Structure formats: C-alpha cells, structure tokens
Amino acid sequence: MKVVEVENYDEMSKVAAKTIIEKIKQEQNVVLGLATGGTPVGTYKQLVIDYKEHMTSYKNVHTVNLDEYIGLKETDPTSYAYYMKEHLFNDINIPIVNTHIPSGEAVDTGKECEEYETLIDSLGGVDLQLLGIGENGHIGFNEPGTSFHSKTSVVKLSDTTRKANSIYFNGLEEVPTHAISMGISTILKSKQILLLVSGKRKAEVLYRLLTEDIKEELPASILRKHPNVTIVADFEALSIVNEKQLVLS
C-alpha cells in the first residue's frame, strides 16, 4: 500500500484527477469505480476543468458507483444518482448509458444486487476504483462487522454514518436507513484502488487503518491485502500518523 502525502484537499483532488485522466488516456474502454460523499467532489471538479480545457474524452469510459440509498428516486437531490450527474456526468461527454449506479427505487432489491454484480463482471471488472472512507472505517457503505467476503447487498446504515451524512439532508430523520452497496469482495476485485483521505475528521481512522490488525471491525483494513492501493492523504488526515512518527512505506 502506497501513501502519497499532499498538502491539502485541493492538492489531493488534483493528484486523484491526474491519476484518473492518465488511466483514461492510457487504456481504451476503462471501467471506473466511483465514490460519492464530500471527499471526491474536488476530484470531479478537476475532471470537469480538464475536460473543458483538454477535451479528454469519456466516450469509451464506463462507470460503476459504489452505492445508493434505498428509497430515494434518482431525481431526488440527495440521491447519489443525482450527485453524480450534478458533479460529473452532466459536464463531460460520457454516454449516460455507460454510467451505472444501483437503483434505490428497485422493488426487488435482492435482484438489483445480483444484477449489479453481474454487470460489473460483464464490463470486465473495475480498472480503477476511487474510494473515500467513513470515520468508522467503512468503505462504500460496508459498515464495521461486514464480512470481507460480502458481495453487492442491502446494508443497514449505522447511526454514526447516518449522523455524518445528515448534513446533506434536512435532518437526521430524512437520512435513509438502508442502502445498496458494492460488497467488500466486489471492491477488492478492482485492479487498482485510489483511497482519498482529507481533513482532521479522518486522522484517527487513517492512523487505525495503517496500524491496526486487518479485521472486519475495520472494513478498510482489508485494503492492506490488495496489491495495488494508493492512499492520497492530506496533512490534516495524516496529523496523527505524523505525530506518532509512523514510518510510511
């Protein structure tokens, strides 16, 4: 696991966007795994700036998102489907049929999960997966205790996650209780993973990720077993790591 230390959120976003753009330019038909939340907003902004300036083409790019809240329509501004259009898809030339997000409106959620797994496989798997991390170590919406063997499934959101995400809603009661999330084994099948970590709020979980045992109680810890993970973290996120003088490889 490689750790790239950057000064701040802006620099983290630029490094992430550069990695994604290089990948798109190097390979035909790239499959990008995309994340939501506050962390990747700056990365998407950089991709849009680059698109406007250099016309990097997304015509042959496919995307699969990590997760979606159950019960939200894709037209709901708090849905991840809406977020992706707002922050990225509307501003680049990606064919909308190439973009995939689990449906939060699915009547048969079990079937939706199975089909999402099949879809990822049929695309040939994810080439580059962008990830954020929850303060409790979740990746996607895989909360502490989730099996490392999990596939795309319906997950119950923890109180801490609902509280953390309530800033995007009109209060905690509006935050859905469940989501569909790629499983941990699904995420681990990605050929390359880019984990973005920014801010003091994430300093403790980043320190835990780098120092604690690999265990299901800390979902992100399994990333240490993946052969191609790069963490891009800013000074604030690395504040505890640096304070404790942990030597990074």
Q: Is 138 a catalytic residue?
A: yes
The span from the CA of 59 to the CA of 237, in Å, is: 35
CB atoms within 10 A of CB 59: 10
Q: Which residue is closest to ligand GLP by CB?
A: 132
Q: Which of residues 122-161 bind ligand GLP (CB under 6 A)?
A: 132-134, 140-141, 161
| 13, 39, 63, 146: which one binds ligand GLP (CB under 6 A) | 39
What is the enclosing helix (H) or strand (E) of 11?
helix 9-26
Q: Which of residues 62-81 bind ligand GLP (CB under 6 A)?
A: 66-67
Backbone angles phi, psi at 175, to 5 degrees: -75, 125
| 6, 34, 35, 84: which one binds ligand GLP (CB under 6 A) | 35
- The minimum distance between CB 141 and ligand GLP, in angstroms, equals 5
- The minimum distance between CB 238 and ligand GLP, in angstroms, equals 16
Q: Which candidate in 143, 165, 234, 236 is catalytic? A: 143
| 165, 190, 221, 239: which one binds ligand GLP (CB under 6 A) | 165
Query: Going edge to edge, which strands form the sheet with 2-6?
Result: 2-6, 229-234, 192-197, 128-131, 31-34, 62-65, 99-100
Q: Is 67 a catalytic residue?
A: yes
| 9, 32, 36, 195: which one binds ligand GLP (CB under 6 A) | 36
Q: For tokens 């505890």, what's the residue?
A: 240
Q: Which candidate in 65, 98, 136, 142 is catalytic? A: 136
> Which of 197, 211, 94 lies closest to 138, judged by CA?
197
Q: Which candidate in 50, 62, 65, 67 is catalytic? A: 67
Cβ atoms of 64 and 31 within 8 Å: the answer is yes
- Pick the closer one to ligand GLP by CB: 25 or 156: 156
- The minimum distance between CB 190 and ligand GLP, in angstroms, equals 14
Render 171-196 in DSSP notation, one character per residue: SGGGS-SEEEE--HHHHHTSSEEEEE
Q: Is 136 a catalytic residue?
A: yes
Q: How many residues bind ligand GLP (CB under 6 A)?
A: 14
Beta-strand runs (E) in the chain: 2-6, 31-34, 62-65, 67-69, 99-100, 128-131, 153-156, 178-181, 192-197, 229-234
Site of interaction with ligand GLP (CB under 6 A): 35-39, 66-67, 132-134, 140-141, 161, 165
- The residues annotated with a catalytic role in the active site are 67, 136, 138, 143
